[in-house]
Amino acid sequence: MHHIPKLSAPDDPLRMGETTLAEGLGLPLAFGHAYLTVLVCLCGRARFTLNFKEHAVRRGDVVVLAEDTIALFKRRSRGFNVFFCLIPKRFATEVAYPLPNPLFVFLHDHPHCVPTQHDRPLIAGWVAQMRDIAGSCPTYRHIMLRNQLQTFFLKIAEQLPAQPTGGRAFSRKEMLSWRFWELIGKHCTRHREVQFYADALSITPFYLSRLTKAFFNDSPKGLIDRQVTLEIKALLSYSNLAIGRVADALNFADASYLCRYFKRQTWVSLSGYRRHQHAASGQG
């Protein structure tokens, strides 16, 4: 395969495989509707420009591209080949749920990760496990792939330097954006109103919407709802709380309102989601 792989729609499932990227040489890289793309160099060498900085990618190196990363594929050796994993938005939010905020800051500034010699065999093993799960584990594939990706990113997080931004000072806009993301993690179970977060940051909702569009490519309400939905999913998947208790835990007026909210966000009913998760995990 020589072309640039793509997701054809935002709700496509996770996709993985191998490609030389040869047809994208000299062009900006775009992976369709992938919200996050992981590339692992299997062999050969290449040069990428990532957010206007040039990177030499070699065998075993990892490149993590967010949907807003400006990536240009400049040169490649004859034998260059990469493993790719295209992650749609919905799946990416599930993966990101337990990950620490400093990791997102680090990957934003350092999309090209160079593993140590000790870790390179682990990367190869991870790729092999991802392929095996995709090809031979239909029953628990979704959960296993999610766990593999979380382990992958947590391994990077374990090795973050003391100053993951490399000492670069954040602009005020960046600080406000990341502070907003932290506030959502702390308060989304009690507060779903954009005004609450704007007030906490001492800015207007309009200015907050401009910041989140620039840094996260989403609205403040979209980001809040995404995190609240993950909290609901976690309680449905990992607890036996009645729906009314889930509503109380997440500050919804009643179970009926919670049901309408969840179905609006996911197009799935609460009971349907819980049945599916319990069946997938062997509880049903």
Domains of the chain: 15-158 (2.60.120.280), 176-280 (1.10.10.60)
Would the pLDDT of 7 be above 50? yes
* 36-43 and 81-87 strand pairing: antiparallel
Residue 192 tokens read as: 């779903």
Answer yes or no: are the C-beta atoms of 220 and 226 closer than 8 Å: no
Would the pLDDT of 21 be above 80? yes
pLDDT at 120: 92
Dihedral angle over CA of 134, 138, 141, 142, nearest 10? 120
pLDDT, the chain, mean? 89
pLDDT at 281: 60
Dihedral angle over CA of 255, 90, 175, 212, nearest 10? -80
pLDDT digits (tens, 9 = 90+) for 49-63: 988 889 999 999 999
pTM for the model stands at 0.74
pLDDT digits (tens, 9 = 90+) for 108-153: 889 999 999 999 999 999 999 999 999 999 999 999 999 999 999 9
Residue with tokens 């506030």: 183
d(C-alpha 138, C-alpha 171), whole Å = 45
CB atoms within 10 A of CB 12: 16
Residue 91 tokens read as: 């799946």
pLDDT at 169: 61
Rg of the Cα atoms in the chain: 20
pLDDT at 164: 47
